[in-house]
Amino acid sequence: MTTHLRRILATLTLFFTEFTVTLLLGIAGVVGFLALGREVFDQDAATFDAAAFRCARKLLGPRQQWVEAITFLASRNFITVAGCLLINWFLLIRRHRWNSLLVPVVALGSITLNLALKQFYHRPRPLLPLVSASGLSFPSGHAMISSSFYGLLIYLCYTYVRRPLWRWLLIAGLVLLIVLIGITRVYLRVHYATDVLAGFTAGLVWLLVAIPVLKQLEKRWKKPFENPAQTAEKQPE
């Protein structure tokens, strides 16, 4: 078997593996979200949500300032600032315009989809919240935004961080942050646990849709977007 043929087979194997994993995760995410939505509609999740409130309280203990600091990391104000900084970093330092496009698509798409789902399910927030919160409850916007935005950072770390130790430390830290954000939303009684699980699931599904679509667009139109100077040189005077 020639080296060229081996490379082709290796590329095809990698493609089909990535496609299969993405497809299975997407299907599992959609099924999981629909199952959670049905539980909410049928009001069968009350026992689970009540137990989650108690567990979150025992896990985090008495109310502390760091809880609100963690939950702030998935607020729209923080994500807007962090997203703008990340876009500028890709544009000015990394010179990768497609990644700079990926950030707003994931963030804005996640927020828009979350608002649409909230209106569809129209679930009120829990009673007696520890902090003020407005709007509807299902799915959790903080959970959905955190899983999509920080999930995007996980994807970028996995793709671009070359040193394995740093790569996996960053990924582990981001995963921990996502989980903590979800727990704090339940702890502060601004969301039910089912809201948070649904938010995580919907954010992951949106991420699995957005990244492959933009990667395909990048392959088709990469030259005009990535090399405008070269394109201009080829134009007749």
Six-digit token string for 169: 């430390």
Return the exposure string of 213-230: e unless at least 16 CB atoms fall within 10 Å of the residue's CB, then b: ebeeebeeeeeeeeeeee
175 confidence band (pLDDT: 50, 70, 90): very high
174 confidence band (pLDDT: 50, 70, 90): very high
Which of 17-21, 57-61, 123-127, 229-233 has the lowest average pLDDT? Answer: 229-233
Q: What's the mean pLDDT when you consider all of the chain?
A: 78
Does the pTM of the predicted model rise above 0.85? no
CA atoms within 13 A on the CB side of 132: 0
Residues 40-56: tens digit of each pLDDT? 665 667 888 888 898 98
For the cut 60, the answer to whether the pLDDT of residue 224 exceeds it is no
| Measured distance CA(71)–CA(181) in Å, rounded | 5
For the cut 60, the answer to whether the pLDDT of residue 25 exceeds it is no
Instruction: Average the pLDDT over 69-96 and give the result.
Output: 85
Distances (CA, A) of 72 to 77, 101, 184: 8, 24, 10
Phi-psi region of 128 (alpha: psi -120 to 50; beta: other; left: phi over 0): left
Cβ count within 10 A of residue 83: 18
234 confidence band (pLDDT: 50, 70, 90): very low
Residue type at position 25: L
Instruction: Average the pLDDT over 17-22 and give the result.
Output: 56
For the cut 50, the answer to whether the pLDDT of residue 233 exceeds it is no
| Measured distance CA(204)–CA(151) in Å, rounded | 7
Evaluate whether 188 touches 71 at the Cβ level (below 8 Å): yes
| Measured distance CA(122)–CA(136) in Å, rounded | 6
Residue type at position 160: Y
Residue type at position 135: G
Collect all residues with Cβ–Cβ distance below 8 Å to 202 and sequence separation of at least 6: 29, 33, 113, 114, 117, 139, 144, 147
Residues 92-120: tens digit of each pLDDT? 777 777 777 788 888 888 888 888 888 88
Please give the span between the terminal C-alpha atoms of the chain, in angstroms, as a whole number: 49
For the cut 70, the answer to whether the pLDDT of residue 5 exceeds it is no
